[in-house]
Amino acid sequence: RIDVHMHICPRAFHDALDNHNLSGPPVSTSSGATHALTSLDVDRAILSCSVPGPAVAGTGAPGRELARACNNQCLEFIAKNPSHLSFFGVTPSWIDVAGTLAEIDYVLVEKKLPGIVAMAVYDEKLLGDPIFAPIWKRLDELNTIVFIHPTASSLHPSLIAGKLPQFVADFPYQTTRTALDLVLSGTVTTHPHVKMILPHAGGTLPYLAGKVLASCSMATELTQDDIKDAFSRFYFDVALSTARIPLRALLDFTSPDRILFGSD
Protein backbone atom coordinates (compact mmCIF):
# COMPACT_ATOMS: atom_id res chain seq x y z
CA ARG A 1 0.00 0.00 0.00
CA ILE A 2 1.26 3.48 -0.93
CA ASP A 3 0.47 6.59 1.11
CA VAL A 4 0.44 9.67 -1.15
CA HIS A 5 -0.38 12.16 1.61
CA MET A 6 2.16 12.11 4.43
CA HIS A 7 3.83 15.35 5.42
CA ILE A 8 7.46 16.10 6.13
CA CYS A 9 8.92 19.14 7.84
CA PRO A 10 12.59 19.63 6.95
CA ARG A 11 14.72 21.83 9.18
CA ALA A 12 14.88 24.65 6.61
CA PHE A 13 11.10 24.88 6.46
CA HIS A 14 10.72 24.66 10.23
CA ASP A 15 13.17 27.54 10.66
CA ALA A 16 11.41 29.60 7.97
CA LEU A 17 8.10 29.23 9.77
CA ASP A 18 9.76 30.25 13.02
CA ASN A 19 11.32 33.29 11.36
CA HIS A 20 7.85 34.38 10.22
CA ASN A 21 6.34 33.78 13.68
CA LEU A 22 4.22 30.91 12.37
CA SER A 23 3.61 27.68 14.23
CA GLY A 24 4.28 24.40 12.49
CA PRO A 25 5.07 20.75 13.05
CA PRO A 26 8.35 19.61 14.60
CA VAL A 27 11.28 18.74 12.38
CA SER A 28 10.71 15.29 10.88
CA THR A 29 12.88 12.38 12.03
CA SER A 30 13.69 9.02 10.48
CA SER A 31 12.31 7.21 13.51
CA GLY A 32 9.07 9.16 13.21
CA ALA A 33 8.72 8.22 9.55
CA THR A 34 9.40 4.55 10.31
CA HIS A 35 6.81 4.58 13.07
CA ALA A 36 4.24 6.15 10.74
CA LEU A 37 4.83 3.52 8.06
CA THR A 38 4.44 0.73 10.59
CA SER A 39 1.39 2.12 12.37
CA LEU A 40 -0.41 2.83 9.08
CA ASP A 41 0.62 -0.52 7.56
CA VAL A 42 1.91 1.10 4.37
CA ASP A 43 4.79 -0.17 2.26
CA ARG A 44 5.79 3.19 0.84
CA ALA A 45 5.02 6.85 1.50
CA ILE A 46 5.43 9.80 -0.84
CA LEU A 47 6.14 12.69 1.50
CA SER A 48 5.22 16.31 0.89
CA CYS A 49 6.22 19.50 2.67
CA SER A 50 3.62 20.96 5.00
CA VAL A 51 1.76 24.15 4.09
CA PRO A 52 2.42 26.85 3.10
CA GLY A 53 5.67 25.43 1.74
CA PRO A 54 8.44 27.69 0.44
CA ALA A 55 5.85 30.31 -0.49
CA VAL A 56 6.16 31.44 3.13
CA ALA A 57 9.41 33.14 2.13
CA GLY A 58 7.78 35.14 -0.63
CA THR A 59 9.03 35.47 -4.20
CA GLY A 60 12.51 36.04 -5.55
CA ALA A 61 15.72 34.79 -3.99
CA PRO A 62 14.35 33.95 -0.50
CA GLY A 63 11.64 31.66 -1.88
CA ARG A 64 14.00 30.02 -4.36
CA GLU A 65 16.65 29.40 -1.72
CA LEU A 66 14.12 27.93 0.70
CA ALA A 67 12.70 25.61 -1.96
CA ARG A 68 16.17 24.33 -2.83
CA ALA A 69 17.09 23.84 0.83
CA CYS A 70 13.86 21.93 1.50
CA ASN A 71 14.37 19.72 -1.53
CA ASN A 72 17.97 18.92 -0.65
CA GLN A 73 17.13 18.16 2.97
CA CYS A 74 14.25 15.93 1.90
CA LEU A 75 16.56 14.11 -0.52
CA GLU A 76 18.92 13.41 2.37
CA PHE A 77 15.97 12.27 4.49
CA ILE A 78 14.63 9.70 2.03
CA ALA A 79 18.14 8.44 1.23
CA LYS A 80 18.11 6.81 4.67
CA ASN A 81 15.15 4.61 3.66
CA PRO A 82 14.84 4.75 -0.14
CA SER A 83 12.87 1.53 -0.49
CA HIS A 84 10.02 2.93 1.62
CA LEU A 85 10.17 6.71 1.23
CA SER A 86 10.02 9.20 -1.62
CA PHE A 87 8.71 12.75 -1.81
CA PHE A 88 7.00 15.30 -4.00
CA GLY A 89 9.44 18.11 -4.71
CA VAL A 90 8.60 21.66 -3.66
CA THR A 91 8.86 24.86 -5.65
CA PRO A 92 8.88 28.53 -4.75
CA SER A 93 5.59 30.38 -4.91
CA TRP A 94 4.22 29.95 -8.42
CA ILE A 95 4.00 33.74 -8.63
CA ASP A 96 7.74 33.43 -9.25
CA VAL A 97 7.26 31.64 -12.57
CA ALA A 98 10.94 31.58 -13.55
CA GLY A 99 12.02 30.30 -10.14
CA THR A 100 9.33 27.64 -10.19
CA LEU A 101 10.34 26.44 -13.66
CA ALA A 102 13.97 26.17 -12.56
CA GLU A 103 13.07 24.14 -9.47
CA ILE A 104 10.75 21.88 -11.48
CA ASP A 105 13.67 20.95 -13.71
CA TYR A 106 15.89 20.42 -10.66
CA VAL A 107 13.57 18.02 -8.87
CA LEU A 108 12.05 16.24 -11.88
CA VAL A 109 14.82 16.16 -14.47
CA GLU A 110 17.98 16.19 -12.35
CA LYS A 111 16.78 14.42 -9.19
CA LYS A 112 14.06 12.35 -10.89
CA LEU A 113 11.47 12.70 -8.14
CA PRO A 114 7.99 11.28 -8.83
CA GLY A 115 6.25 14.66 -8.91
CA ILE A 116 5.75 17.96 -7.14
CA VAL A 117 3.41 19.40 -4.53
CA ALA A 118 1.58 22.63 -5.37
CA MET A 119 -0.44 24.85 -3.08
CA ALA A 120 -4.03 25.31 -4.23
CA VAL A 121 -3.65 29.09 -4.09
CA TYR A 122 -0.74 31.48 -4.54
CA ASP A 123 -1.33 35.10 -3.58
CA GLU A 124 -5.07 34.53 -3.99
CA LYS A 125 -4.61 33.17 -7.53
CA LEU A 126 -6.15 29.77 -8.25
CA LEU A 127 -4.08 27.28 -10.22
CA GLY A 128 -5.90 27.81 -13.52
CA ASP A 129 -4.85 31.47 -13.63
CA PRO A 130 -3.22 32.41 -16.97
CA ILE A 131 -0.07 33.58 -15.17
CA PHE A 132 0.71 29.94 -14.44
CA ALA A 133 0.42 28.75 -18.07
CA PRO A 134 4.21 28.35 -18.56
CA ILE A 135 4.36 26.16 -15.46
CA TRP A 136 1.60 23.85 -16.63
CA LYS A 137 3.23 23.65 -20.06
CA ARG A 138 6.47 22.41 -18.53
CA LEU A 139 4.70 20.01 -16.19
CA ASP A 140 2.84 18.56 -19.16
CA GLU A 141 6.08 18.11 -21.10
CA LEU A 142 7.52 16.16 -18.17
CA ASN A 143 4.43 13.95 -17.63
CA THR A 144 4.30 15.14 -14.04
CA ILE A 145 2.29 14.07 -11.02
CA VAL A 146 1.07 17.21 -9.24
CA PHE A 147 -0.20 16.78 -5.70
CA ILE A 148 -2.40 19.79 -4.97
CA HIS A 149 -2.79 20.84 -1.33
CA PRO A 150 -4.87 23.67 0.18
CA THR A 151 -3.17 26.31 2.25
CA ALA A 152 -4.02 29.18 4.58
CA SER A 153 -5.56 32.17 2.84
CA SER A 154 -6.72 35.66 3.78
CA LEU A 155 -10.37 34.95 4.44
CA HIS A 156 -12.51 37.42 6.38
CA PRO A 157 -13.11 36.52 9.10
CA SER A 158 -10.07 34.28 9.12
CA LEU A 159 -11.54 31.77 11.58
CA ILE A 160 -15.11 30.54 11.88
CA ALA A 161 -16.47 31.33 15.34
CA GLY A 162 -13.12 32.96 16.00
CA LYS A 163 -11.40 29.63 16.64
CA LEU A 164 -12.11 26.93 14.04
CA PRO A 165 -8.89 26.31 12.07
CA GLN A 166 -9.09 26.84 8.31
CA PHE A 167 -8.12 23.24 7.57
CA VAL A 168 -11.42 21.96 8.99
CA ALA A 169 -13.89 23.63 6.61
CA ASP A 170 -12.04 26.15 4.45
CA PHE A 171 -9.39 23.81 3.03
CA PRO A 172 -11.95 21.53 1.34
CA TYR A 173 -13.63 24.54 -0.27
CA GLN A 174 -10.28 25.87 -1.47
CA THR A 175 -9.48 22.51 -3.04
CA THR A 176 -12.83 22.61 -4.81
CA ARG A 177 -12.33 26.15 -6.08
CA THR A 178 -8.91 25.47 -7.56
CA ALA A 179 -10.08 22.17 -9.07
CA LEU A 180 -13.00 23.92 -10.76
CA ASP A 181 -10.67 26.70 -11.91
CA LEU A 182 -8.39 24.11 -13.49
CA VAL A 183 -11.34 22.48 -15.25
CA LEU A 184 -13.26 25.57 -16.39
CA SER A 185 -10.13 27.39 -17.55
CA GLY A 186 -9.31 24.44 -19.78
CA THR A 187 -6.05 23.72 -17.94
CA VAL A 188 -6.93 20.08 -17.32
CA THR A 189 -8.06 19.55 -20.91
CA THR A 190 -5.03 21.17 -22.53
CA HIS A 191 -2.46 19.38 -20.35
CA PRO A 192 -3.36 15.71 -20.75
CA HIS A 193 0.00 14.40 -19.53
CA VAL A 194 -0.28 15.91 -16.05
CA LYS A 195 -1.72 13.68 -13.34
CA MET A 196 -3.39 15.85 -10.70
CA ILE A 197 -4.12 14.51 -7.22
CA LEU A 198 -6.77 16.28 -5.14
CA PRO A 199 -6.60 15.65 -1.38
CA HIS A 200 -9.34 15.01 1.15
CA ALA A 201 -11.68 13.26 -1.31
CA GLY A 202 -11.67 16.32 -3.57
CA GLY A 203 -13.16 18.65 -0.98
CA THR A 204 -16.74 19.42 -2.01
CA LEU A 205 -16.18 18.70 -5.70
CA PRO A 206 -18.15 15.42 -5.77
CA TYR A 207 -21.10 17.17 -4.10
CA LEU A 208 -21.07 20.23 -6.38
CA ALA A 209 -20.18 18.63 -9.71
CA GLY A 210 -23.78 18.35 -10.89
CA LYS A 211 -24.48 21.98 -10.09
CA VAL A 212 -21.34 23.02 -11.96
CA LEU A 213 -22.37 21.03 -15.03
CA ALA A 214 -25.77 22.72 -15.02
CA SER A 215 -24.14 26.16 -14.81
CA CYS A 216 -21.01 25.67 -16.91
CA SER A 217 -22.17 27.85 -19.80
CA MET A 218 -21.84 30.85 -17.46
CA ALA A 219 -18.09 30.32 -17.10
CA THR A 220 -16.63 28.43 -20.04
CA GLU A 221 -17.04 27.42 -23.66
CA LEU A 222 -16.34 23.82 -22.71
CA THR A 223 -19.27 21.47 -23.11
CA GLN A 224 -20.71 19.36 -20.34
CA ASP A 225 -19.00 16.33 -21.88
CA ASP A 226 -15.68 18.21 -21.86
CA ILE A 227 -16.13 19.00 -18.19
CA LYS A 228 -17.14 15.45 -17.30
CA ASP A 229 -14.02 14.22 -19.06
CA ALA A 230 -11.88 16.71 -17.13
CA PHE A 231 -13.46 15.63 -13.85
CA SER A 232 -12.67 12.01 -14.69
CA ARG A 233 -8.97 12.75 -15.00
CA PHE A 234 -8.44 13.83 -11.40
CA TYR A 235 -7.04 11.43 -8.82
CA PHE A 236 -8.20 11.72 -5.22
CA ASP A 237 -6.74 10.73 -1.87
CA VAL A 238 -8.98 9.88 1.06
CA ALA A 239 -7.00 11.59 3.81
CA LEU A 240 -9.31 12.65 6.67
CA SER A 241 -12.27 11.69 4.46
CA THR A 242 -13.16 8.09 5.20
CA ALA A 243 -16.47 8.79 6.93
CA ARG A 244 -19.44 7.25 5.12
CA ILE A 245 -20.86 10.40 3.50
CA PRO A 246 -17.69 11.85 1.86
CA LEU A 247 -16.48 8.42 0.80
CA ARG A 248 -19.85 7.51 -0.68
CA ALA A 249 -19.94 10.79 -2.59
CA LEU A 250 -16.45 10.18 -3.95
CA LEU A 251 -17.28 6.63 -5.04
CA ASP A 252 -20.37 7.93 -6.83
CA PHE A 253 -18.28 10.62 -8.54
CA THR A 254 -15.22 8.73 -9.78
CA SER A 255 -13.97 5.21 -10.42
CA PRO A 256 -12.13 3.21 -7.74
CA ASP A 257 -8.89 3.22 -9.74
CA ARG A 258 -8.74 7.01 -9.25
CA ILE A 259 -8.89 6.79 -5.46
CA LEU A 260 -5.60 6.70 -3.53
CA PHE A 261 -4.71 6.12 0.09
CA GLY A 262 -3.59 9.13 2.09
CA SER A 263 -3.14 9.52 5.83
CA ASP A 264 -2.28 13.22 6.25
Tens of pLDDT along the chain (264 residues)? 999 999 999 999 999 999 999 988 999 998 999 899 999 999 999 999 999 999 999 999 999 999 999 999 999 999 999 999 999 999 999 999 999 999 999 999 999 999 999 999 999 999 999 999 999 999 999 999 999 999 988 888 889 999 999 999 999 999 999 999 999 999 999 999 999 999 999 999 999 999 999 999 999 999 999 999 999 999 999 999 999 999 999 999 999 999 999 999
**pLDDT attached to residue 115:** 99
d(CA 238, CA 190): 26
**pLDDT attached to residue 155:** 85
> Which amino acid, 159?
L
State the residue range of the domain holding 76.
Answer: 2-260
**pLDDT attached to residue 190:** 98
CATH code, domain carrying 214: 3.20.20.140
Are 148 and 197 spatial neighbours (Cβ–Cβ below 8 Å)?
yes
Record the pTM.
0.96
d(CA 105, CA 112): 9
- First-to-final CA distance of the chain: 15
**pLDDT attached to residue 97:** 99
User: In the chain, how many domains are there?
Assistant: 1
d(CA 248, CA 91): 34
Q: Tell me how crowded residue 86 is: count the other CB atoms within 10 A of its CB.
A: 18
> Which amino acid, 47?
L
Are 83 and 26 spatial neighbours (Cβ–Cβ below 8 Å)?
no
**pLDDT attached to residue 156:** 85
**pLDDT attached to residue 153:** 87
Q: Which residues of 24-40 are buried (b: 16+ CB within 10 A; e: fewer)?
A: beeebeeeebeebbeee
Q: Give the long-range contacts of residues 76-82, CB within 8 A, separation 24 or more.
A: 77/8, 77/10, 77/28, 77/30, 77/33, 77/47, 78/47, 80/30, 81/30, 81/33, 81/34
